[in-house]
């Protein structure tokens, strides 16, 4: 309830920032100072050249030492909202190599698991408790990728034959859906089901995670839990949706050295990302016109971004000095909506 009250006062987008630790690949000496530092639970600073500091405030700031478990603790109220029948979207934003996939999917099993498997686990616990109270609970998952403004179904088996064309449509009750999309029934309490779907997700998102030209870093992946709780006696049905989005790398195209045709391609590939920026700015400015229809990503996720939907933007940051420019851009993007 508290969440709903705060929601009314502050709109429906929250912004968290997470600074990843230095990694061996960063090539930084032990004990080097990070370019981005947490100042408090809600503040961070980024150190520019010539000693210039930029300070930012967010709804939450996680230091490099934060555990996956702690991050999920702070995220679980959003998952609960989806269980309660809301449209919810969690975004992982940041330049390639900043930790988006680590945050969303995680690396491996156990403690390193990210938001997706932990969210499924929370759904499973809720399902068990609702079923004890006489409810029927159903979870379906879908998993798609938006690349160059084209939707691809990542759960469709087999590479041969005609691939269906996917469009975003609105049904009779105003719910948005994607045509021809595989919706897989899944038991959130079945470890094998969860592992299988995580393997499928990992196949698409962790390929060449540091290669800025890899398709995986230039496409958006949207993993969705479709949740339906129904109670025949109470004649009640709750339909919630949890979208878990691993966004394309936010780096500007100059960094990846694209020129000519390639640069043009990069611009259209990132149409959804720039449109998301425009949408966030419009929401931040309380503008009366928010251009959701301008891209596939914003149109698909509009119900989470507007009305009584709920959105969390998790901004991932690299601590390296060479990432200063990209980190500053990410922070400015994130504070526009905050």
Residues that bind ligand ADP (CB under 6 A): 20-21, 23, 94, 96-102, 107, 209, 217, 316
**Tokens at residue 224, please?**
């969705």
- Closer residue to ligand ADP in complex, CB, 243/250: 250
Residue 316: CB minimum distance to ligand ADP, A: 6
Q: Which residues contact 138 (CB under 8 A, 6 or more apart)?
A: 185, 227, 228, 229, 230
- Closer residue to Mg ion in complex, CB, 87/320: 320
Contact 183, 141 (CB under 8 A): yes
Place of tokens 């309660």: 84
Contact 119, 103 (CB under 8 A): no
Q: Which residues contact 227 (CB under 8 A, 6 or more apart)?
A: 82, 83, 123, 137, 138, 139, 238, 239, 240, 241, 242
Site for Mg ion in 10-39 (CB under 5 A): none
Q: Which of the listed partners (Mg ion, ligand ADP, none) does 302 bind, with a CB threshold of 5 to 8 Å by partner kind?
A: none
Q: Which of the listed partners (ligand ADP, Mg ion, none) does 189 bind, with a CB threshold of 5 to 8 Å by partner kind?
A: none
Q: What angle do CA 105, 107, 108 make, to 5 degrees?
A: 105
Among 101, 219, 318, 323, binds Mg ion (CB under 5 A): 101
Stretch that binds Mg ion, among 67-75, 96-104, 182-190, 325-333 (CB under 5 A): 96-104
In the sheet that holds 53-57, the strands lie side by side as: 36-40, 43-47, 53-57
- Closer residue to ligand ADP in complex, CB, 153/211: 211
Name the closest residue to ligand ADP (Cβ).
Answer: 99
- Closer residue to Mg ion in complex, CB, 94/124: 94
Stretch that binds Mg ion, among 11-19, 142-150, 205-213, 291-299 (CB under 5 A): 205-213
The residue ranges that bind Mg ion (CB under 5 A) are: 100-101, 209
């Amino acid at each position: 309830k508290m969440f709903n009250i705060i929601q009314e006062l502050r709109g429906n987008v929250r912004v968290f920032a997470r600074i990843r630790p230095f990694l061996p690949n960063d090539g930084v000496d032990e004990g080097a100072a990070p370019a981005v530092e947490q100042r408090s639970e809600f503040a961070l600073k980024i150190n520019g050249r010539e000693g210039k500091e930029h300070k930012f405030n967010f709804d939450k700031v996680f230091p490099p030492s934060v555990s996956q478990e702690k991050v999920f603790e702070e995220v679980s109220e959003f998952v609960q909202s989806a269980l309660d029948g809301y449209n919810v979207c969690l975004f992982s934003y940041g330049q390639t190599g900043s930790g988006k996939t680590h945050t969303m999917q995680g690396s491996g099993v156990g403690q390193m698991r990210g938001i997706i498997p932990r969210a499924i686990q929370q759904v499973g616990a809720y399902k068990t408790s609702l079923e004890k109270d006489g409810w029927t609970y159903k979870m379906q998952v879908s998993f798609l990728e938006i690349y160059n403004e084209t939707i691809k179904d990542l759960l469709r088996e087999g590479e041969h034959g005609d691939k269906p064309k996917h469009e975003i449509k609105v049904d009779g009750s105003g719910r948005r859906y994607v045509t021809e999309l595989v919706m897989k029934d899944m038991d959130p309490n079945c470890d094998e089901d969860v592992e299988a779907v995580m393997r499928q997700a990992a196949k698409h998102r962790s390929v060449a995670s540091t290669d800025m030209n890899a398709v995986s870093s230039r496409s958006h992946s949207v993993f969705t839990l479709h949740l339906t709780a129904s109670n025949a006696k109470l004649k009640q049905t709750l339909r919630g949706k949890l979208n878990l989005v691993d966004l394309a790398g936010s780096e500007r195209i100059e960094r990846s050295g694209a020129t000519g045709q390639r640069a043009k391609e990069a611009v259209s590939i990132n149409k959804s990302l720039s449109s998301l920026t425009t949408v966030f700015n419009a929401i931040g400015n309380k503008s009366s016109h928010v251009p959701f229809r301008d891209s596939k990503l914003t149109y698909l996720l509009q119900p989470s971004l507007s009305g009584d939907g709920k959105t969390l933007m998790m901004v991932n940051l690299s601590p390296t000095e060479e990432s200063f420019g990209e980190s500053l851009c990410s922070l400015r993007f994130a504070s526009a909506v905050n």
